[in-house]
Amino acid sequence: MTAEERPQVDTMNVSIFGLGYVGAVSGACFAHFGHKVIGVDINLSKIEMINAGFSPVVEQGLAELISKGHAAGMISATEDVSAAVMGSEISLISVGTPSDTNGSQSLTAVESVVEAIGREIRRKQEPHCVVIRSTVAPGTTDGRIARLLQEAAGREIGEELTLCSNPEFLREGSAIKDFFHPPFTVVGGVGTEGCQALATLYAGLDAPFIATTARVAESLKYACNCFHAVKIAFANELGVLMKTLGIDSREAMRIFCEDRLLNISSAYLRPGFAFGGSCLPKELRTIADMARAANLPLPMLTSVLESNQQHVERALEMIQRRGRRKVALFGLAFKPGTDDLRESPLVTLAERLIGKGFDLAIFDRSVDLGRLTGTNLEYIRCEIPHLDRLVSNSIDGTLNGAGTIVIGHAPRDVVPKIAAAAVGRSVIDLQGVAALQNRPGIDYEGICW
Ligand SMILES: NC(=O)c1ccc[n+]([C@@H]2O[C@H](COP(=O)([O-])OP(=O)(O)OC[C@H]3O[C@@H](n4cnc5c(N)ncnc54)[C@H](O)[C@@H]3O)[C@@H](O)[C@H]2O)c1
């Protein structure tokens, strides 16, 4: 969308607290949509700049938008919190949340603004919506911030008061473009109400509007930024390794990015159990070996196997915590529909359970011990020598007497049978079987949920 393409939307009066990159860009863009924006900051020079029609930060296209908004009387700034809250129906908070010296997040500015807005809401008859746009750790908005706001406003959320998390995903340098063309707008409400005002505020955007909980909205910001950081570190670690091997890493990664099925896609991005099989662990070990030979520290790539092992330990700890000696394990191969047991994390889990003295029964329809051959057979003989005594093709036999049921992967037709037998027992779900979650009478725990 260019500055000339202005959609027709219902307009609102909006106050924006914190006129840094996020606040100034959002304010200018909302004013462009026809909303009346009043910015608030403690920095008087930023206020003066906006009131003179200038941008308080350097960002491509922002000076022009602010100048136009100012000329049209759609954007102004003040240090007067009262005037801003009384003159708006929605307050967005985009003050800084820097790291404290111990690495924790400083909420000093956010809390002081929330309190100040709350005090004004106390004197207000009309409904008001408060929106956290600053990046805050998951659980902050419906925790500390909700408590502080309710206390200061003298009313509960839901009583003419709404509170939402609406994280900002813009990138400096392309912030205006990012604002007008976001992948989505995520709004997380606290309590049952809250997102309607934001649907109106963002009506001018042609992007999915996703309403969720405040915690999910807050988490998304971290998920996105961590993923971006991981992508960069991944490309750079591979890049330097390829360089030492005389390989054109830019060419390799250009081709890598052409795979939209497994590489640049949602594949492998669902939380679940650990990876395994005959390729992934082996390739990671080879990369680590090449890095060692080249005397090249690659901390990210060389810690992936350890991260994976930690995930197996997590499952083990969940089973141990139940304190029930007899365990039924569904799934043994490294993924469903194959009999490949090599480096299966479920084999590792089974082996660790046996080592700790658990009485284990295993069901995996694809694993026919009589038909295993080659390295697959050698691997399992070495890892679990007496596997034939543990593996059964009877669901009832596997479940018989088991206090804990572990679902590594269970075929669709097996799940109802597990569900019927699970009442009164513990279920450790490594797969994500929706049918079992929240069922009464089952002690259920998922690995990542
Ligand atoms: N910069 C980015 O690219 C970006 C992108 C997405 C999210 N975020 C997040 O958005 C938040 C703001 O980031 P930013 O880069 O715009 O910060 P910034 O430091 O550029 O601006 C913060 C502004 O808040 C003002 N402020 C501080 N205390 C105040 C108070 N009590 N009342 C009113 N104003 C006050 C400051 O004077 C400053 O102008 C942070 O949580 C950040 O993590 C930033």
DSSP string, 148-191: HHHHHHTS-TTSSEEEEE------TTSHHHHHHS-S-EEEEESS
To test the pocket of ligand 1, the residue of 41, 57, 93, 115 to mutate (highest count of ligand atoms within 8 Å of its CB) is: 41
Q: In angstroms, what is the span from residue 21 Cα to ligand 1's centroid?
A: 7
CA-proximal residue: ligand 1, atom 7 (nearest): 168
Q: Which two tokens stand for residue 108?
A: 């000093």
Mean pLDDT for the stretch of residues 387-404: 93
Residue 192's pLDDT is 67
Q: For residue 245, which of 280, 290, 283 has the smallest C-alpha distance?
A: 290
Where residue 370 falls among pLDDT bands split at 50, 70, 90? confident
The arithmetic mean of pLDDT across residues 161-185, rounded, is: 95
Alpha carbons 326 and 446: distance in angstroms, whole number: 19
Span 189-201, pLDDT tens digits = 997 666 788 999 9
The pLDDT value given to residue 5: 61
Confidence check: pLDDT of 4 > 60: no
pLDDT number for residue 195 = 76
How high does pLDDT run on average in the chain? 94
Q: How far is CA 31 from CA 16, 88, 176, in A?
A: 11, 13, 13
| Domains, the chain, with CATH or none | 13-214 (3.40.50.720), 306-446 (3.40.50.720)
Atom of ligand 1 nearest to the CA of 135: 41
Q: Is residue 15 pLDDT above 60, yes or no?
A: yes
Q: Is the pLDDT of residue 3 over 80?
A: no
Atom of ligand 1 nearest to the CA of 134: 41
- 19 C-beta closer than 6 A to ligand 1: yes
Catalytic machinery residues? 279
379 pLDDT band, cuts 50/70/90, is confident
The per-residue pLDDT for range 409-439, each reduced to its tens digit, is: 999 999 999 999 999 999 999 999 988 898 9
Instruction: Tell me the CA–centroid distance for residue 308 and ligand 1, in Å.
Output: 36
Strand partners, 392: 363
- Ligand 1: atom nearest CA of 23 is 16
- pLDDT number for residue 7: 60
